[in-house]
Amino acid sequence: MANGNTGKTSGNTGKAGRRSGGKAGGKTGKIEKYERGTRSYTMSHIRGKDTKIEVLVRSYLFRRGLRFRKNDKRYPGHPDIVLPKYHVIVFVNGCFWHMHESCGKQSMPKSNVEFWNAKLLRNRERDCRQHRQLLADGWRVIDVWECELARKVREERLERLYTQIVDSGEPHIDETNDSRWDALGERAGSQDAIDTSR
């Protein structure tokens, strides 16, 4: 990409306004967010722990008087929040990285689709395995999704999370009716294994 009239090329760190092309470079009308080659660099710098949403949830729970461990490597998936007193594990999931169904934030990148599809499906399968193991070990598992922490609904969701933690209840709590958890119980979708009704 030329940098003005100097003939120099600019680095691959900026956003581009190029359109993603179909066959033979045809325009599809969708605009790529990144220049070619910058998506990998950008994605490699996304944090795996202590994300903004994790810090937000932990801060709330701490203010409410709950004490917990964070990113505990002794458990499958290194859970974001472990509350041994209540035998509860909380995962704070980004909607994109964990393929949150029926969520606007979970959209597939327009370039390198095969790579991203395979990667995100692996993430999803890994999440299911880890949840199954934690349930088998007797933990209650709660998922909090990034979209549930949007400013308009944040306080309500955090208050509900606090209640879910301190009240005894179902072993797995995912309020989004995400079908990935249907296979977690012995009977798919049974209320004995999954609580999606709240």
Over the stretch 107-127, which tens digit does the pLDDT of each residue have?
777 788 888 889 889 989 999
Residue 25 scores a pLDDT above 70: no
What is the C-alpha to C-alpha distance for residues 177 and 158, in angstroms, rounded to an integer? Answer: 18
Q: Name the band, by pLDDT with cuts 50, 70 and 90, for residue 155.
A: very high
Residue 62 sits in the same domain as residue 72 = yes
Residue 116: the pLDDT is 85
Q: Assess if residue 126 is contained within a domain.
A: yes
Residues 120 and 141 both lie in one domain: yes
Least reliable range by pLDDT among 38-52, 138-152, 182-196: 182-196
pLDDT value for 4:
47
Q: Smallest Cα–Cα separation from 100: which of 155, 154, 179, 156? A: 179
118 and 161 inside one domain: yes
Q: Does the structure show a pLDDT above 90 at 46? A: no
Any idea what DSSP says for residue 3? -
Q: Does residue 91 share a domain with residue 39?
A: no
In the chain, what is the straight-line distance between the N-terminal and C-terminal CA atoms, in Å? 52
Average pLDDT for 157-181: 73
Alpha carbon distances (Å) from 130 to 9, 139, 149: 46, 11, 23
Q: Is residue 33 located within the same domain as residue 52?
A: no
Segments forming the whole domain that contains residue 38:
13-45
Q: What CATH number is given to the structural domain containing 53? A: 3.40.960.10
Q: How many residues does the chain have?
A: 198
Evaluate if residue 61 carries a pLDDT over 80: yes
**Is 27 in the same domain as 52?**
no
Same-domain check for residues 149 and 51: yes
Alpha carbons 88 and 85: distance in angstroms, whole number: 8
**pLDDT of 100 strictly over 50:** yes
Strand 88-93 with 81-83, pairing: antiparallel
> What was the pLDDT predicted at 110?
79
pLDDT surpasses 80 at 162: yes
Q: How many CB atoms lie within 10 A of CB 161?
A: 25
Residue 183 pLDDT greater than 60, yes or no: no
Question: What is the reported pLDDT for 20?
Answer: 45
pLDDT confidence tier of residue 81, bands split at 50, 70 and 90: very high
This prediction's pTM: 0.65
